[in-house]
Structure 1
Amino acid sequence: MRKIKRKKKNYIPDPKFNDSLVTRFVNHLMKNGKKGVAFRIFYNAIKKIDLIKNKEEKSALEIWKDGLKNVTPHVEVRSRRMGGSNIQIPVSISNNSKITKAMKLLVTCASSRNEKTMANKLAFEIWDAFKGQGEAVKRKENIHKMAEANKAFSHFRF
């Protein structure tokens, strides 16, 4: 085989919620190796979600997980050179890559919002993702539309 399979990375659970998915998200949120700052931003965003939600039975962490699930893409398009032109080929994504793409979508869309602090940006983006609206959900739907438009080329898989 040409490619070597990577080892699955084990993430240490975060101290507050004891969840390794939170640590993974904080790693995507982190800049310049400042993990403590990233944890503070995430925890403040979770507190903000607690204040935003009204009469919602779910906890803020469950709202974050549901928002992440709403942003998760199931297919993506990859370029392949065929006969002098580039063709976009829809390919299904592995579970690990789905989660990674969803986290990156949430973080990038949150950072582009017009709020005062990153914790507020992230909280409102997570809330919008939970409700099924917002920039991250639109980007996911755009990815799915591109894959649907290029469904005719799906037999050219890698």
Structure 2
Amino acid sequence: MSRRHRAKKRTILPDPTFDSRLVHMLVNRVMKDGKKSLAYKIVYQTLDQVAEKSQKDPVQILEEAIRNVKPLVEVKARRIGGSAYQVPLEVNAERGTVLALQWILLAARSRSGRSSVLKLTNEILDAANKTGGAIKRRDEVHRMAEANKAFAKFRF
């Protein structure tokens, strides 16, 4: 990260099918090695399966899953006087969405099974129902912040 200038914020355009910025953010995070068409295929098949299993709008289910996984606080390491403290900080909305997407994908990739579409589908449905690996991760982060509440005075 450059110390000289702050990176400019790029605007994310909505995806062509669902006209949703959130879906496009998910596609960008699913993508590996610049294979965006493959990422689109995976995400669209996932959203089709989500709609099939839940009988609801898949974008609304995805938004609900993101809302459930989004953390309110996180801990950041801060060095003070030679020792590192885990300082709890509030998470702004955009960073919360990014963290939620990362955690959902991480939990989906760590699931057992072969099909990435099926793993991502099940993780999104679990997150919407407040269960699964991503929700566990959020609770863990909240517990860490609660345990280190005494160091909140070191906020920067």
Bin of the TM-score, shorter chain as denominator length: over 0.9
Aligned residue in 2 for 1:124: 122
- 1:92: Cα distance to partner? 1.1
Aligned residue in 1 for 2:21: 20
- Aligned-residue sequence identity (percent) comes to 39
List per-residue Cα deviations over 1:92-122 (Å, max 9, x = no partner).
1222211111111111110111122101000
Q: CA–CA distance in 2 between the matches of 1:20 and 1:72?
A: 16
Q: Which aligned segments of 4 or more residues in structure 1 are displaced greater than 3 angstroms? A: 2-6
Letter in 2 for 1:8: K
Aligned residue in 1 for 2:106: 108
Q: CA–CA distance in 1 between the matches of 2:39 and 2:5?
A: 32
Aligned residue in 2 for 1:72: 70
List per-residue Cα deviations over 1:122-141 (Å, max 9, x = no partner).
00000000000000000001
2:152 to 140, 151, 154: 154
Larger CA deviation: 73-82 vs 147-156:
73-82
Change (3 A) 1:67 1:15: same
Q: CA–CA distance in 2 between the matches of 1:152 and 1:93?
A: 18
Q: CA–CA distance in 2 between the matches of 1:93 and 1:5?
A: 19
Report 1:86-97 matches (<5 A).
Answer: 86-97=84-95
- 1:38: Cα distance to partner? 0.5
Q: CA–CA distance in 1 between the matches of 2:140 and 2:5?
A: 32
Please give the secondary structure, in 2, of the residue aligned with 1:104.
helix
Structure 2: any 5+ residue segments left out of the alignment? none
Structure 1: any 5+ residue segments left out of the alignment? none
- TM-score, normalization by structure 2: 0.93
Q: Kindly tell me the number of residue pairs found equivalent between the two proteins.
A: 154
Q: CA–CA distance in 2 between the matches of 1:3 and 1:149?
A: 35
List per-residue Cα deviations over 1:42-72 (Å, max 9, x = no partner).
0111111122215xxx311101110011111
**CA RMSD, 1 decimal:** 1.4
Q: CA–CA distance in 1 between the matches of 2:95 and 2:34?
A: 22
